[in-house]
Structure 1
Amino acid sequence: MDPKGQRVKLNDGHFIPVLGFGTAESKEFLKSEALEVTKFAIEVGFRHVDSAHLYQNEEQVGQAIRSKIADGTVKREDIFYTSKLWCTFLRPELVRPALEKSLKNLQLDYVDLYIIHFPLAMKALEKCKDAGLTKSIGVSNFNHKQLEKILNKPGLKYKPVCNQVECHPYLNQSKLLDFCKSHDIVLVAYGALGSQRIKGWVNLNHPVLLEDPVLCAIAKKHKQTPALVVLRYQIQRGVVVLAKSYNKKRIKENIKVFDFELSLDDMKAIDGLNRNIRYYEFLIGVSHPEYPFSEEY
């Protein structure tokens, strides 16, 4: 952790900012908005930007980053940019071209972190790191058995620096978090605010996280929003957290996560909310032998 507590060290020596700006959005947002809000997020202080080929906005996100470099707001090395390999590119020979396509869209020389969603193509990913196309490599949606499989792979050159998973007070992933910490792998939380309830992607029958009375009471006590309480909770337990919003007021608000601290009692009360509710069930993959959510953690 750096002195300001705003970055954590990865197992390969690089640093990742603990608060990230998520750029995935539902279809009703125009791509031009991705450009606007990413620029705004950098202006208010976000230094970690999370996107993917799948989001179809890397061109705009890259443009936003480059324009903030051009106007002197940041240098390239100040920005931590994450991209992800989509499942249609898992054959080893498709991995590097997929990353090169992302870099071409972004018009950047490298990404800081490249993530895969399935326990395949690790060798090809390692080659991308060796080629300097990505500084770090990580995984997403892996359960502890899938992580073990990778960690025990003969000839593993680089272990994943992170595991990006759905994580919030209703699904606090405490067992997976302990497992990751014991292997020096950072847990990165998506869906940290309980998802944006996009039909088709999430289970809309689940309760709205940010309306939880316990979270609202803690927020009131600290004169903060429930969203900030939820983000702060993750940072205090050593989780890197992604805050996704296309609303400028909220983006500006989310950066205030460093302005207050939760007490031990607050943390315990939030821990007590866990009920293993998964908003993103990815039911499309449920019959796949590598479907990650059949395991307890």
Structure 2
Amino acid sequence: MKILLPDTAPLHPALPEGWEAVTVDARAGIPPAHHDADVLVVWGASRRHLASAAEHLAGLRLVQSLAAGVDGILAAGFDEDVVIATGAGLHSRTVSEHTLALLLSLVRRLPESREAQQRHEWSSEIGGLQPLHPEGRLTTLLGARVLIWGFGQIGQTLAPVLAALGAEVRGAARSAGTRAGFEVIAEEDVLAELPEVDVLIDILPASAHTAGAVGEEVLAALPDHALLVNVGRGATVDQEALRAALEAGTLGGAALDVTEPEPLPQDDPLWDAPRLLITPHSAGGRPVGADERIARNLRALAAGEELLHVAAR
């Protein structure tokens, strides 16, 4: 039995007896010598790599992604009997960490402090004696009303961190209820709740259902002081509407780790939008626990047991 590992990550999973691991170029086609592979691990794969795997790996049983999103894999044309497992949960802590960094940067005005430093200016507007809750601006997470739209594993990892800093956190998902001890509202109720939201965190996946979900109507419903952070997918935000809201002053600020397209073209006007922080899709990029996930699903595959995080086909 053979498993193909990508060369884009240092992987050393503990393999069940009788399995052989081969590392291949994740940007190139699958070499003919390895067309007999049973399992393919995907991380940073090119379209050429995925298309080659779908075409040539006739005995393939499992595609194990190390990314939470598997849109590219689903589009590659693998046979229906090939199981596709996602890397859900492998990025929860790192993405939560980055989201917190983006949010605190906006709340504590770090970009403005950096600009003042470049001017060699000790800004009394930013520092010194300040009200805790000034009119028209969010300057602390204490008492901040945070809504995490897309309350999966990342949202459930992030929520208690924000709560520990004093925020009032709720989630939004397709169905209402309680998850990980936090109230979750149904997504059809999001628009009505937005006027009472100080921070909207977008962790939505990309789909036809979520395309442009954070658009003009959503942005208009938020208070003028509200902040938006997107660490989900770029296509979930209407970037023209976002830029218009920031320029009009009807949104307090935003931080994007994802854009549409990626990379964001150098001449895109979004770069110059006021009160906007952009990072180059750097929230994840380093799956935590990948070896253990691969080994766990290999054992389940060999034993005919249920695999973790199988994607719907």
Q: TM-score, normalised by structure 2?
A: 0.29
Higher relative contact order (CA 8 A, sep 6+): 1
Q: TM-score, normalised by structure 1?
A: 0.30
Structure with the larger helix share: 1
